[in-house]
Each structure stands twice: as C-alpha cells, then as structure tokens.
Amino acid sequence: AQSVTQPDIHITVSEGASLELRCNYSYGATPYLFWYVQSPGQGLQLLLKYFSGDTLVQGIKGFEAEFKRSQSSFNLRKPSVHWSDAAEYFCAVPNAGNNRKLIWGLGTSLAVNP
C-alpha cells in the first residue's frame, strides 16, 4: 500500500541552527510531493512542492527540499532556523488511486530553542 513516512515525531533545534526533516514515500512512479506547515491552531500552508524537473525545490520562508528517487525521499531543509519556524510539518503525496486525495505522513513537530 502507498505510504508516507516521517521518521521523526519530534525535533528540537536551537535558533540559527540548520534543520533537516525527513520524508520517505512508497510509490510506483515518480510522485508529486508536498510539504505543508501548520502553526499552532492554524490551517495548513504549502511550503513547497515537487512535480518534475530540478530535484532541488525552493519554497517559502527559506525552506528547500530535495527529491532523491534512489532513496524515495523528499527531505525538507533550512540552513538557519528562526523561532517562528516552530510548527508541525507534514509531507504528503497524491493517492495513486485518486489523485484528488493526499496521503499524509504523521507529521514532525519542530520546537526551536532560543
């Protein structure tokens, strides 16, 4: 069955440190890939997406992600974390059986120490 795995449930980093959030997927073909961010009590905001082409994708808020087909991964990175980046991060791929629907990872909660 199709799945999205975010191995890290919770991560804590210091402000100014670099960040990498992991996402692995299972999918027969090259998928579309999404990273969403959710601040406490808010809806989800799209950070970035991969459809095709350049495997390094730039997003909003200084985030980037790299698609690695050989590793079935789409890890999210930021070189220097800000306190406002504390949030929940979700990786998602379209459902192969119905691409109007998304399959979600369980999310990674990011805490930022001052």
Partner 1 sequence: DAMVIQNPRYQVTQFGKPVTLSCSQTLNHNVMYWYQQKSSQAPKLLFHYYDKDFNNEADTPDNFQSRRPNTSFCFLDIRSPGLGDAAMYLCATSTPRGANYEQFFGPGTRLTVL
- The residues of the shown chain that bind partner 1, judged by CB under 8 A, are 32, 34, 36, 41-46, 49, 51, 88, 90, 94, 99-102, 104-107, 109
Minimal distance, residue 53 CB to partner 1, in Å: 13
Q: How many CB atoms sit inside 10 A of residue 98's CB?
A: 8
Which CB sits closer to partner 1, 27 or 104?
104
Distance CA 103, CA 31 (A): 11
Minimal distance, residue 11 CB to partner 1, in Å: 14
3-state secondary structure of 59: coil
Minimal distance, residue 107 CB to partner 1, in Å: 6
Distance CA 109, CA 21 (A): 10
